[in-house]
Amino acid sequence: MAQYDVIIIGGGPGGYNAGIRAGQLGLKAAVVEKRTTLGGTCLNVGCMPSKALLHASELYEAAGGEFATLGIEVKPKLNLVQMMKQKADSVTALTKGIEFLFKKNKVEWIKGAGKITGPGKVEVTAEDGSVTTLEAKNIVIATGSEPTPLPGVTIDQQRIVDSTGALSLPEVPGSLIVIGAGIIGLELGSVWRRLGSKVTVVEFLDRITPGMDAETAKTFQRSLTKQGVEFKLGAKVTGATASKKGVSLTVEPVAGGAAETLEAEYVLVAIGRRPYTEGLGLENVGITPDKRGFIETDHFKTSAPGVWAIGDAIHGPMLAHKAEEDSVACIEMIAGKYGHVDYNLVPSVVYTYPEVAWVGQTEEQLKEAGVAYKVGKFPFSANSRAKINHETEGFAKVLADAKTDEILGVHIVGPQAGEMIGEYCVAMAFKAASEDIARVCHPHPTRSEAGRQAAMGVEGWTMQA
Amino acid sequence: MADIMTPALGESVTEATVARWTKKAGDAVRKDEILVELETDKVSLEVAAPADGVLEFIAAEEGATVEPGAVLGRLAEGAVASAPAAAPAPKAEAPKPAPAPAPAPAAAPAAAAPLAPSAQRIVAENNLDAGAIAGSGKAGRVTKGDALAALEARANAPAAPASPAAPREIHAREERVRMTRLRQTIARRLKEAQNAAAMLTTFNEVDMSAVMALRNQYKDGFEKSHGVKLGFMSFFVKAVIHGLKHVPDVNAEIDGTDVIYKNHYDIGVAVGTEKGLVVPVLRDADALSLSGIEKGIGALGKKARDGQLALEDLQGGTFTISNGGVYGSLMSTPILNAPQSGILGMHKIQERPMAVNGQVVIRPMMYLALSYDHRIVDGQGAVTFLVKVKEAIEDPQRLLLDV
């Protein structure tokens, strides 16, 4: 029976990074993954393929509209098969890349579904049904999450799809209803709207993207509306009937009132994700997930000795980069080192047009906590690079402690916001003050200057607006 | 070409101040000729030319602080004196050893982490001492909040003594002189001792008749046999060791929540020099004869006055004797030489009328003072110690018999 220092169950961003870090630290490590490729949801049916379609569809839309204003006259023709193929090619290259990294770091990939059968024991059932039992000093649960189903709306992956299905629709829907105005729903809704769909977003809450700074969310929603996305907020979906040609959806106002029926060719259910912790044999080591399926941990240690958990399976933002941070800290702790993740510094990005990115606290959170803060804000309409590129939507906003000037939160809405937020992640990790950004030379002309001008604004010396 | 380097300064000494250059750039120098004098917390030392040649340039000017291994200047070997070469940007910084891997869990404070731009501004605008601000940022870095807090703390401090960053105006008939490093160290150590110890002083007096008679009787023979004069110090050193053996607490030191007892008797003897007070240490004084003690003290005193004391001469004393009597002091309360727990103050011998057996007689008397750390030495121990010293001086035969 093979004996490992650490066996990781799940080969997504949490699991594969855990494997690599373990290999780097000289631990004998194996990753159990039941998919036929590594990379988990993120690489196979999540972040990566959605970004492939977002990029391609954005260019398609630009070619059909904005190009003409730049003096480029073309009439784009959509080849959906090719668009899907380039997506698949990229995904394949990325998953192969992880296989290479495993070899490089001497991490074993054990194909099959893992199940904990007792302390230090993992049973792996391969695709052909054969069962192997492995032994490990440490077991890391990195099984991730799956789309949360919506009662009354059965996913058939034909007309009613989840995020996985929405990444591979066989045609551009004439109409698409997205249930859930979260990040996934808005990204995939954007893809299909750009390719020609009439998109309606139905959201239970009275706002979009819960968790996002409210002012930022409002600006973001205005942009999407201008692009043609229709929003039905405060609306509850109570039932769905799928036919060969489409779906008929029953929607009721949350506040009460008459139900209405909405028709669309396709429906995307994107109301969130839930931990994927069923069938893992947790009961065999005395771990009971909470009622939403999350495993309770103390610095990644579960209640069972030698069993650890990271990523979407535990509390915290359900994001690939958060899982990656967890993995490094968890493995370093297993190796007897120091590991720590500050969840306040896990950034979020929405890869729509405009993008939205933020890190730290929202204004609502600061008010709730009674923290005195100052705001610096700078519109991209006053940023030279944004103007030159005709991309002036949005703003950068910096929130800083009123007394110490420490940056507490940064919210950016605008193209490439996701690339801009990293600067502030570093700054905040070093407890930087807004003045620290304001006094650092930024390249001109770039969008990053807007981030600096916003920082200047905290102490009232924004110079270019 | 030969770099003139700062030599190793000894255990626990990390930097020195360049006190004086005896040569200037362009001067011809001989091998072993003194080029520059350095001052450390404890000693002065001289750096000689490593070879014949010309002092090409001076990298560390007078007043600069240098670390062991730092370049002081450069010698062009075998060259002939000429116009001085332009010195490259003065660099007093020594090449730093590679940092040891930090222990994993605790974030080690970054001693010299560069200041954040905001903290840099606040420090510069307000003359704050960046090194004195406790950093709360990543790995102990000073954040803007920390700098602002330091500024606020200074504003709230009750009439702080003139900070070195903001020297007060000099009036017409005043003169400002920089404290030597030795003086600064003395000042700091004395204050540290006062702050750390629960210090108090107990007094006694001693009739010097017996020791003086003994000395008068034997001084010529002693000098003839040993080649050194018989003084009073040797008797006091012997008497002190006699007392320390009876009251070991006075020869101990506090280390955290422990007490370290020392089964050796290394007696510091305070010596006044031109530059200030130094306390060279007489090693294993309990094993020395009276003549051995006199020779040892004589040698240390000469070294001190000549500025030749080595670091080893100053470290590791277990008890100190200070003699204010040489300047005429009748009574004083000496300050402990930390981390020691006791210091004996000797004073001027003065004839005073004393009542002896119901008669008034004139006796040569000396007041004795023992300052001690009450945290470790209790009152009984301190008084007992001083009485033991007194008895041994008044009746030196006790030393012979160890009673």
Question: What average pLDDT does this structure show over B243-259?
Answer: 93
Structure tokens belonging to residue A165: 């299905």
A129: left (phi over 0), alpha (psi -120 to 50) or beta: left
The predicted structure's pLDDT at residue B45: 77
Cross-chain CB nearest to A433 (options B104, B144, B149): B144
Segment A395-407, tens digit of pLDDT: 999 999 999 999 9
Whether A344 shows a pLDDT value over 50: the answer reads: yes
The predicted structure's pLDDT at residue A319: 97
Structure tokens belonging to residue B309: 């004391």
Interface test with B, best of A436, A437, A440 (most B CBs within 10 A): A436
Q: Is the N-terminal amide bond of B353 cis, ω within 30° of 0?
A: no
Contact of A11 with A124, CB cutoff 8 Å: no
Structure tokens belonging to residue A99: 């296989």
Segment A275-284, tens digit of pLDDT: 999 999 999 9
The predicted structure's pLDDT at residue B262: 94
* B371 alpha-carbon distance from chain centroid: 18
Average pLDDT, chain A: 96
Contact of B181 with B41, CB cutoff 8 Å: yes
Tallying the residues shown for chain A, one arrives at: 465
Beta bridge partners of B363: B352
Question: What average pLDDT does this structure show over B123-136?
Answer: 86
- Pairwise CA distance, residues B234 & B334, whole Å: 20
The predicted structure's pLDDT at residue B158: 61
- SS3 at position A310: coil
| pLDDT confidence bin for B166, thresholds 50/70/90 | low
Strand order in the sheet with A407-413: A348-350, A356-360, A407-413, A395-401, A373-379
> Closest chain B residue to A459 measured between Cα atoms?
B118
Residue whose tokens read 């590791």: B316
- Pairwise CA distance, residues B121 & B101, whole Å: 32
Structure tokens belonging to residue A184: 């996934």
User: Which residues from B are below 8 Å from A433, CB to CB?
Assistant: 116, 118, 143-145
- Pairwise CA distance, residues A410 & A431, whole Å: 13
Query: A401 touching B, CB under 8 A?
Result: yes
Beta bridge partners of B58: B73
Whether A67 shows a pLDDT value over 70: the answer reads: yes
Beta bridge partners of A358: A348, A411
Interface test with A, best of B136, B141, B143 (most A CBs within 10 A): B143
Of A35-39, A226-230, B162-166, B343-347, the poorest mean pLDDT is in: B162-166
Segment B338-395, tens digit of pLDDT: 889 999 999 999 999 999 999 999 999 999 999 999 999 999 999 999 999 999 999 9
- Pairwise CA distance, residues A281 & A286, whole Å: 9
Structure tokens belonging to residue B79: 């060259």
Hey, are the CB atoms on B117 and A338 less than 8 Å from each other?
no
The predicted structure's pLDDT at residue B55: 85
Cross-chain CB nearest to A404 (options B104, B121, B144): B144
Query: B138 touching A, CB under 8 A?
Result: yes
Residue whose tokens read 């003690």: B293
* B378 included as an active-site residue: yes
> Closest chain A residue to B120 measured between Cα atoms?
A436
Contact of B246 with B388, CB cutoff 8 Å: yes
- SS3 at position A70: coil
Question: What average pLDDT does this structure show over A203-219?
Answer: 97
- Pairwise CA distance, residues A441 & A444, whole Å: 9
Cross-chain CB nearest to B116 (options A338, A403, A436): A436
Please name which of B2, B49, B56 lies closest in space to residue B25, comparing C-alpha atoms: B56
Hey, are the CB atoms on A404 and B141 less than 8 Å from each other?
no
Where do runs of H (alpha helix) occur along B39-180?
117-126, 144-156
Residue with the bigger pLDDT between A53 and B66: it is A53
Tallying the residues shown for chain B, one arrives at: 403
Question: What average pLDDT does this structure show over A308-337?
Answer: 96
Interface test with A, best of B123, B133, B144 (most A CBs within 10 A): B144
Q: How far is A412 from chain B (nearest CA, A)?
A: 23
User: Which residues from B are below 8 Å from A436, CB to CB?
Assistant: 116-118, 144
Whether B13 shows a pLDDT value over 90: the answer reads: no
Whether B96 shows a pLDDT value over 70: the answer reads: no
Q: How far is A433 from chain B (nearest CA, A)?
A: 6
Q: Which of A55, A299, A321, A444 is catalytic?
A: A444
Please name which of A163, A221, A151, A216 lies closest in space to residue A188, comparing C-alpha atoms: A163
Q: How far is B125 from chain A (nearest CA, A)?
A: 15
Structure tokens belonging to residue B288: 């020395």
Query: B283 touching A, CB under 8 A?
Result: no
| pLDDT confidence bin for B8, thresholds 50/70/90 | confident
Query: B105 touching A, CB under 8 A?
Result: yes
User: Which residues from A are below 8 Å from B116, CB to CB?
Assistant: 430, 432-433, 436
Residue whose tokens read 């490729």: A37
Question: What average pLDDT does this structure show over A290-295?
Answer: 94
Hey, are the CB atoms on A404 and B145 less than 8 Å from each other?
yes
Q: How far is A318 from chain B (nearest CA, A)?
A: 26
Per-residue burial over A285-318, b = 16 or more CB atoms within 10 Å of its CB, e = otherwise = bebebeeebbbebeebbbebebbbbbbbbbebeb
Segment A119-148, tens digit of pLDDT: 999 999 999 999 999 999 999 999 999 999
Hey, are the CB atoms on A440 and B137 less than 8 Å from each other?
no
Cross-chain CB nearest to A405 (options B104, B118, B136): B118
Helix (H) or strand (E) holding B345: strand B342-346
Hey, are the CB atoms on A405 and B148 less than 8 Å from each other?
yes
Q: Which of B52, B226, B286, B374 is catalytic?
A: B374
Query: A372 touching B, CB under 8 A?
Result: no
Contact of A360 with A410, CB cutoff 8 Å: yes
Hey, are the CB atoms on B105 and A433 less than 8 Å from each other?
no
Query: A440 touching B, CB under 8 A?
Result: yes
- Pairwise CA distance, residues A214 & A222, whole Å: 12
- Pairwise CA distance, residues A62 & B112, whole Å: 51
Whether B97 shows a pLDDT value over 60: the answer reads: no
Per-residue burial over A242-268, b = 16 or more CB atoms within 10 Å of its CB, e = otherwise = beeebbebbbbeeeeeeeeebebbbbb
- Pairwise CA distance, residues A354 & A374, whole Å: 25
Question: What average pLDDT does this structure show over B158-164?
Answer: 50
Hey, are the CB atoms on A404 and B143 less than 8 Å from each other?
yes
Q: How far is A210 from chain B (nearest CA, A)?
A: 31
Q: Is the N-terminal amide bond of B84 cis, ω within 30° of 0?
A: no
Query: B82 touching A, CB under 8 A?
Result: no
Query: B145 touching A, CB under 8 A?
Result: yes
Whether B270 shows a pLDDT value over 70: the answer reads: yes
Q: How far is A19 from chain B (nearest CA, A)?
A: 21
The predicted structure's pLDDT at residue B100: 41
Question: What average pLDDT does this structure show over B158-185?
Answer: 71
Query: B143 touching A, CB under 8 A?
Result: yes
Structure tokens belonging to residue A37: 């490729």
Segment B31-63, tens digit of pLDDT: 888 888 888 776 777 888 888 888 888 888 888
> Closest chain A residue to B113 measured between Cα atoms?
A430
Cross-chain CB nearest to A433 (options B105, B116, B149): B116
Segment A407-442, tens digit of pLDDT: 999 999 999 999 999 999 999 999 999 999 999 999
Where do runs of H (alpha helix) occur along B105-263?
117-126, 144-156, 181-196, 209-226, 233-246
Query: What ipTM score was computed for the predicted complex, to two decimals?
Result: 0.75
> Closest chain A residue to B106 measured between Cα atoms?
A338
A286: left (phi over 0), alpha (psi -120 to 50) or beta: left
